Amino acid sequence: MEPVVIPAILAKTKEELLQRISQVNGLAGEIQLDIMDGDFVPNKTVGLDELVSIPALKNARYEFHWMVRNPEKWIEHIPGGHMHLVHVETIKSFAEIEAAVRKSGGRLGLAINPETPLEALLPFAARAERILVMTVHPGFSGQKYMVEMEKKISALRAKFPKVDIEVDGGVNLETIRGAYAAGANILAAASAIFAAPDKKAAIEKLRACALGDGTQ
């Protein structure tokens, strides 16, 4: 699978959220929004009130990374064909989560934390379109990429050769090649894109590095 680089946004205010979206709108087929409730992870971002009024993207869609308890209560309020990534650690009733995604018109993906064994994900994996492997402990931007998670990525790719596998956390010019080589075809990056003066060039260079065509 060809590598796909998507911008990841963690915003505490609506103003910051809109600013970040405007900086990358039109540059990628998806934009990831990291949503945290201050309960599942020790950080809090924008809430539902801000999310229900976000602007439409240019020939793209959002990927909602739900780092929240009871994700189905959030998903049902977000209409559209977006990707909804639900942490396996939060699943109480998978049927309710699936129902919320269907009601929203979206697509369902799963996310798994570094310390969670793959066995926790496998019962639900066949019913998901995407699997996100966290390569940092969720909650904050700017953390160091956990290279040991590449074994988990490789194990998933061996089990699910056709599913989209995503990585999120510490993805930059130095780490993206290893993540892609391990089997991740979707690569979410935050600081590596938003800290760059030219966001489009940053995305293109990350993709080149994933393929081994960059200078890193």
Q: Which of 86, 49, 51 is nearest to 65 (CA)?
A: 86
**Active site (catalytic) residues:** 34, 168
Judge whether 56 and 87 are in contact, CB under 8 Å.
no
- In angstroms, the Cα distances linking 90 to 38, 67, 133 are 14, 9, 15
Cα separation of the two ends of the chain: 21
Cβ-based neighbours of 124, under 8 Å, separated by 6 or more: 88, 91, 94, 110
Q: Give the containing element (helix H, strand E) for 125.
A: helix 122-125
* AA letter at 216: Q
Query: Which positions ≥6 away from 23 have C-beta within 8 Å?
Result: 194, 199
Nearest to 104 by CA among 47, 68, 62, 41: 62
Give the span between the Cα atoms of 172 and 122, in whole angstroms. 28
DSSP codes joined into one string, 181-193:
HHT--EEEESHHH
